[in-house]
Homo-oligomer: A and B are copies of this chain.
Amino acid sequence: MIEFSSLLLQHAVSELARLPGIGNKTALRLALHLLKEDGTRTEALTRALLKMKSDILLCKKCHNISDSDMCTICANPRRDENILCVVEDMRDVMAIERTACFNGLYHVLGGVINPVEGISPNDLNIVSLIERIENNDIQEVILALPATIEGDTTNFYIFRKLKEKTIRITTISKGVAIGDALEYADEITLGRSILNRTAFEMKK
């Protein structure tokens, strides 16, 4: 327990310590840092946070975070409109964008089905996904959900909804991470990587 000589400081520290991964000691360091810096830095920080919180929108097509009602990816005419990548949240969009391996559009579910936490298909952007597939010329849906039971459940739920339609449904490959030694891969991943082995290709 940290003793404070100032309630104002204590209050600021306890608010900072509510952030994920920020403990009391880090919160104190951050608060003292802001106290030492000139006043405009704290103002700039708080203004940016409040503005983000009040003005940010969700893209009405893919539900990604956006500054207008159409995100920069959906609005980009050079993206392939026929491939849709279904992800859990916007961090996954960023992660896939960083690979530079995908040029289609995204659909952000906003979570995965999780009965324990009470997240049902109706809480996710699945209805809009089906509508989007029905109303556009989508040829492939890539399911890029987490490799967990909840992710698999959601994959299966979406697959059942789409199986009548004449589109290709794929999931991202699971297996040993590139650069990893086999002995460090867990048994389930290594087992899956053997069951799902692919034909060897010589790189030219």
A residues adjacent to B (C-beta < 8 A): 2-9, 11-12, 14-16, 18-22, 26, 28-35, 39, 41-46, 48-56, 59, 64-67, 71-73, 89-91, 93-94, 97-98
A15 to B46, CA, bound (A): 9
Q: What's the nearest-Cβ distance from chain B to residue A88, in Å?
A: 12
Question: Do A5 and B72 contact each other (CB < 8 Å), given the known contacts A20-B30, A33-B19?
Answer: yes
- Chain B residues contacting A66 (CB-CB under 8 Å) are 5-6
Q: What's the nearest-Cβ distance from chain B to residue A150, in Å?
A: 17
From B29, B46, B65, give the contact of A35 (CB < 8 A).
B65
4 A-B pairs closest in CB distance: A46-B46, A12-B52, A15-B48, A8-B52
Count this chain's copies in the assembly: 2
Q: Could you list 9 examples of A-B contacts with CB < 8 Å?
A: A2-B94, A5-B59, A5-B93, A8-B48, A21-B30, A22-B30, A34-B52, A39-B54, A42-B50
A90 to B32, CA, bound (A): 9
Q: Are B46 and A49 touching (Cβ within 8 A)?
A: yes
- Chain B residues contacting A5 (CB-CB under 8 Å) are 59, 64-66, 71-73, 90, 93-94
